[in-house]
A and B are shown apart, each in its own frame.
Chain A
Amino acid sequence: MNKQELILKLKAIIKPYTTNTEAFDNLTEETDFINDLNINSANLVDIVLDIEETFDVVIDNVDMERMLDVKTAVAIIETKLAAK
């Protein structure tokens, strides 16, 4: 899976949890989940659980705390997939 495919999958996961459609439509690697997409900490947990299911990976507490923007989320998922 290349990075573009990964971001597309991630976007599909994020969609139900964001209320800011403009920021979602213009999503880039720099997009911040909390500040740009208006996602709260409870929905961020749901996103991480969906990431675990979709990519069949396990996210730990340290990764969870770093998972605040698209760029870091993609990097964490890529690392987990490479380690499989």
Chain B
Amino acid sequence: MELQNIIAQLPYTPPFLFVDELLHVDENGISGTYTFQEDLAFYKGHFKDNPVTPGVILTETMAQIGMVCLGIYLLGNELKKDTVVAFTSADMQFLKPVYPNEKVTVSSKKLFFRFGKLKCEAIMKNEAGQEVCKGTIAGMITTKL
């Protein structure tokens, strides 16, 4: 499956699409990038006059690149119209702040994908190569919940 084709099949659209580019994917993992443009709406409120990317948005970015994109690749031809994605758990550490206009790279390793549940270990790095966020994420990618 082409990397661009994976992004085209994501069930998200702006302002809630947090994947710009996928760099690599195989059976065991995936990596991709996203740039947090300064005009994203949440920066107005998080925080007042001091924009910092919220941890929940970092977590969502990790999940979209590291779990959903990988899940779409792993499902391949089994991906159907009624396939649903549900984020089911995250255990995340936030190590450094991410400011507007920063570009981050997420890489994720599959821990298991069984019975529709995909669990991954993911790391987010900034452009300086520093880890900003890491943890495990899991979700269901299935036609039935």
Residues of A within 8 A of B (CB): 40-43, 45-46, 48-49, 61, 64
Q: Given the complex of chains A and B, what is the CA–CA distance between A42 and B142 in angstroms?
A: 11
Contact of B22 with A by CB under 8 A: no
Within 8 A of A (CB), among B44-59: none
> Is the Cβ of B114 less than 8 Å from the Cβ of A42?
no
Q: Please give the distance in Å from B113's CB to the nearest CB on chain A.
A: 10
Of chain A, the residue at the smallest CB distance from B144 is A41
Residues of B within 8 A of A (CB): 86, 88-89, 112, 114-117, 138-140, 142, 144-145
> Is the Cβ of B115 less than 8 Å from the Cβ of A64?
yes
Chain A residues with CB under 8 Å of B112's CB are: 49
Q: Given the complex of chains A and B, what is the CA–CA distance between A61 and B89 in angstroms?
A: 22
Q: Please give the distance in Å from A54's CB to the nearest CB on chain B.
A: 16
Of chain B, the residue at the smallest CB distance from A67 is B115
Of chain B, the residue at the smallest CB distance from A43 is B88
Chain B residues with CB under 8 Å of A49's CB are: 112, 114
In-complex Cβ contact of B140 among A42, A48, A61 (8 A): A42
Extra inter-chain contacts (8) besides given A41-B142, A42-B140, A45-B114, CB under 8 Å: A41-B116, A41-B144, A42-B117, A45-B115, A45-B117, A46-B117, A48-B115, A61-B115
Q: Given the complex of chains A and B, what is the CA–CA distance between A45 and B114 in angstroms?
A: 8
Q: Given the complex of chains A and B, what is the CA–CA distance between A61 and B112 in angstroms?
A: 15
Of chain B, the residue at the smallest CB distance from A42 is B88
> Is the Cβ of A41 less than 8 Å from the Cβ of B140?
yes
